[in-house]
Amino acid sequence: MYVFKTADTIITKVGIASEIGEHLSQLKQHVQKALLLTQPALQKSGAVEKVVASLNQAGVSVDVTTDVEPEPTLSNIETVYQATLNVTDYDVLIGLGGGSILDTTKLLSVMKTNDMSLDEMLGSDQVKQPGIPTVLIPTTSGTGAEVTPNAIVTLPEKELKIGVVSSYLLPNLVLIDAALTTGLPKPITAATGMDAFTHALESYISNKANPISDMFALEAIRLISANIETAYFNGGNIEARERMLIGSMYGGMALTAAGTAAVHAMAYPLGGKYKIAHGVANSMLLPHVTQFNMDAIETRLATVAEPMGIKKENQDEKEMAQAVVDRIVELTKILEIPQDLSAYGVQDSAIESMAVAALDVKRLMDNNPKQLTKEDVKAIYGKLLA
C-alpha cells in the first residue's frame, strides 16, 4: 500500500505570481486579509510589490513581514508568530520565498489553529488540527517544500535541525512562477538545485522507495541534470529556470512519498551548528554517502545514468553506477560548491558530536539502504575535512 498526498492545487505559468489575486478563487473561502511572508531579496527584485498589487486589485488587504531568518530557529518562528498572528486574523497566509519562508508559512498556519507550542509539534504527526489556508510560491529551486508535509526548524541549543511532519502542513494552492527565479544568485542556484537533486536521488534509493516516488524521483533527476548548468551560467534562461522549478517540485513529491536518508540526516548538524546552507551541506555529503551506499544500491544507481544523460554504450552496471557518483562530484565542481568543512570552522574534534547528532535523526537514517555506524558517519565527515 502506498499513500501519496500533495498540495490541493498547483498552477504553473511564467508570471503567475503577479496575477495571484485572480487565482484566490481556488481557495474554498472568500479572502479579505492576507499575511505575506517573504524575504528582503524578493522586495528588492520587485516581486513583492507585484504580488501585493495583484492582491489589492482583488480586494485583499495585505500585511507583509520579512522577519523570517534563513533556515529559521524555533525562537525566530515563535517571534514571527507573536508579532503577526496575534495582531489580527488572516484568511490566508502566503509564503513567497525559499524553503525557509515556505516552511515558516506552513508552521504559522497550524500554530494559529492548534492549541500547542511549536516545540510540541516537532516530530511526526503531532499536529492535531488543520491550519488556516496557505498559498506557497517558491523562489528557489529548491526544497520542494511547496509540496511536502514537512517543515524544518533549527534548534541551535541542540546544534541540530528537526522536522515537523504532518499532512496538515500541505498547502491549498501552489504557484510555480519561473519569472521569480531568473535573478536567483549563482551560489543559491547551485546549492538549492543540488538540494533538489539530493531529494530525488535519496528518495530513489530510500528503503521506502516505491513506484510513486520513483516516477517523481527519476523525472526530477532528468529535469535537474539537463538544466542545472544552464540555470547556473545563464540565469536569465526562463525555460531552464522553469524546468528547475518543476524538477525541484517533483523532488519534493518524491521525498513526500519515500523520504530522504543519510545525506539529509548528516546535513542537519552542519546546518544546526555551523549554519552551512542546507543545499551546500547536502552537496558536500551526497557523493561520499552515495559511494558508501554503493554495494547496497549498485543496480538501482546504474538506472540513474540514463536520466542524468551520462549513459554510455557497453557500460556494465558497476561502471554506470560509478559514473553517477563521478558525475555528481563533477557537477559540484562545475557549480563551484565548497567541499571543505574547515572553511566553515568545523574542526576534527567536533566530528564525534556531529556523528552522534546525525545518527539521532532516526526518521531519515532508517530510510538509508545501508545502516551507518558511528565510525561510518565519522569517516564520511572526515573526508570533508581532509
Ligand X SMILES: NC(=O)c1ccc[n+]([C@@H]2O[C@H](COP(=O)([O-])OP(=O)(O)OC[C@H]3O[C@@H](n4cnc5c(N)ncnc54)[C@H](O)[C@@H]3O)[C@@H](O)[C@H]2O)c1
Cell readout for 372 is 551507518
Tell whether residue 187 is a contact of ligand X (CB under 6 A).
no
From residue 156, give the alpha-carbon distance in Å to each of 20, 97, 230, 319: 36, 23, 36, 42
Tell whether residue 195 is a contact of Fe ion (CB under 5 A).
yes
Residues 6+ apart with CB under 8 A from 246: 12, 176, 223
Q: Nearer Cβ to ligand X, position 150 or 203? A: 150
Tell whether residue 41 is a contact of ligand X (CB under 6 A).
yes
Residue pair 92/30 in contact by the 8 Å Cβ criterion: no
Q: Please pick, from the candidates 176, 180, 335, 364, the single residue that binds ligand X as defined by CB under 6 A.
A: 180
Side by side, the strands of the sheet bearing 150-155 are: 123-124, 160-165, 150-155
Q: Which does 200 bind (CB under 5 to 8 A by kind): Fe ion, ligand X, none?
A: none
Sole window of 1-9, 93-101, 305-313, 333-341 interacting with ligand X (rule: CB under 6 A): 93-101
Site for ligand X in 136-165 (CB under 6 A): 139-140, 142-145, 148, 150-152, 161
Q: Least CB distance from residue 98 to Fe ion, whole Å?
A: 11
Q: Least CB distance from residue 191 to ligand X, whole Å?
A: 7
Q: Nearer Cβ to Fe ion, position 133 or 252? A: 252
Residue from 274, 290, 292 nearest 338 by CA: 274
Tell whether residue 184 is a contact of ligand X (CB under 6 A).
yes
From residue 126, give the alpha-carbon distance in Å to each of 81, 115, 363: 19, 12, 14
Q: Nearer Cβ to Fe ion, position 195 or 242? A: 195
Site for ligand X in 279-298 (CB under 6 A): 279
Angle 305-191-290 from CA coordinates, rounded to 5°: 40
Q: Nearer Cβ to Fe ion, position 78 or 195? A: 195
Q: Nearer Cβ to Fe ion, position 286 or 323? A: 286
Q: Nearer Cβ to ligand X, position 249 or 321? A: 249
Beta pairing class for 92-97 and 123-124: unpaired
Residues 6+ apart with CB under 8 A from 274: 341, 344, 345, 346
Binding stretches for ligand X (CB under 6 A): 39, 41, 45, 70-71, 97-101, 103, 139-140, 142-145, 148, 150-152, 161, 180-181, 183-185, 188, 192, 195, 252, 278-279
Interface ranges with Fe ion (CB under 5 A): 195
